[in-house]
A = this chain, B = another copy of it.
Amino acid sequence: MIIVLRPHTPKAAIDEVIAEVSKLGYEPAPIFGVTQTVIAAIGDERTHQNLESLTALPQVESVLRVQKRYKLASRESHPEDTVVDVDGVKIGGGHFVLMAGPCSVESEEQLLSTARSVKAAGATILRGGAYKPRTSPYEFQGLGKEGLRLLELARKETGLKIITEVLSERDVEHVAASADILQIGARNAQNFQLLIECARSGKPILLKRGMSEKIEEWLLAAEYILAHGNPNVLLCERGIRTFETYTRNTLDLAAVAVAKKESHLPVIVDPSQGCGRADLVLALCCGAVALKADGLLVEVHPNPAEAMSDGQQQVDFAAFKELSEMIRPFLAATGRAGW
C-alpha cells in the first residue's frame, strides 16, 4: 500500500507512521518529495491488515492500494479460460450458451410450452424462478417447491438443463437437488453466507452482479465461492443502477470485456433485467455477443402481457426465435459456433 502524508508533515509525525506501518506487519519504504512524503508499505495486502485505518492519523491524507484484492478469480492465477461443464453443456472457453425461460414459473402449461419453444430455437438451459425476490411483500412470491417440481418435469421432457434462483441458505439443499445451476440474484450479490452455502453444494453457480456493485466487488464475491472450493462460477452482468429512467437498469457491456480480461470465469449477460424492456432485448443480445459474452440469459413468456412478474421485459416465442437467428452472425464473427 501507499500512504500519502499531508504536505509539510514534520519528521516526528512521519516517523510515527513508519513505526505504525512496521507494527502492522509491512516493511516501510518512505519516499521524500519536495512538499509531500509518501510511504510505500511492502507486504502482501491480502494477508496483512488493511492500512486504510491509518487515515485515522491526522498526518495521513490517503492510503492507496497497489495489489489486486482477488486472487483465485484473477486471470493471473489462472491464465486459461475456465470452461464450466453443466452436465454435458459447456460454457466458456469458446463455448456459447443460450439460457431462456420465464421470469417466474407460473404453471405446467406455461413452463412446458416455453421449454419446448426455447429448445426449438436453440436454448440448452431453461430458466424459471420458483422462489422470487420481490420488492413488495404483496407481489407474487413464486410457486416454491411446486415450481421446482415443474422445472424437473420440463427437464425430463425436453432434456434442457435447469437454472433457478436460490434466495435462502435453507433452500440450497433442495434447490440444488432439482437444479443444474444455482442462480444468485442481484439483491443477494453480497449475501456472503448464501454464496458460501451454494459453493458447498458443488453445483455450478451463476453469480449476478449487484445493482451497485463495482466490478472489483463482483469478482471478490466470486472469490468467496472459489475460496470455498467451488470452481464453477458463471459471472452474470445484469445492469447497474444509474440515474437513467428510460431503462430499468444500465447494462454495462464494458463490464463483460473487463471481467473477461481480469478473470478466467465465463461471463453471461442478462439483457432482460439489463434494460427492463422487451423492445430492447434483441439489440442488447447482439451487443453482448459482439463483446464475447459466453452466454445469454433471456426471459421468455408465452404471453408477456399477462405474466405474473416482469411482463414488460419478457419476449414472446416469436421474438425469441428471431433473437436466436439474429445473434448467429455475431457468434460467427467472434469465432463461436452457435448451437
Closest to A71 in B: B138
Given contacts A242-B243, A253-B251, A253-B284, contact A44 B34 (CB under 8 A): yes
Given contacts A242-B250, A252-B250, contact A193 B168 (CB under 8 A): yes
Instruction: Return the contact of A254 from the options B228, B274, B316 (Cβ within 8 A).
Output: B274
A 1-27 contacts with B by CB, 8 A: 2, 4, 7, 20, 23-24
A 256-304 contacts with B by CB, 8 A: 256-258, 261, 274-275, 277-280, 283-284, 286-292, 304
Whether B244 and A214, one on each chain, are in contact in the complex, defined by CB atoms closer than 8 angstroms, is yes
Given contacts A29-B31, A53-B311, A55-B277, contact A247 B258 (CB under 8 A): yes
Bound Cα distance from A210 to B192, whole angstroms? 15
Q: Does A143 contact B (CB under 8 A)?
A: no
Q: How many copies does the complex hold?
A: 4
Whether A254 and B275, one on each chain, are in contact in the complex, defined by CB atoms closer than 8 angstroms, is yes
Question: Which B residues lie within 8 Å of A242 (CB)?
Answer: 240, 242-243, 250, 252
Q: Does A188 contact B (CB under 8 A)?
A: yes
Whether A258 and B243, one on each chain, are in contact in the complex, defined by CB atoms closer than 8 angstroms, is no
Question: Which B residues lie within 8 Å of A254 (CB)?
Answer: 247, 250-251, 274-275, 280, 283-284
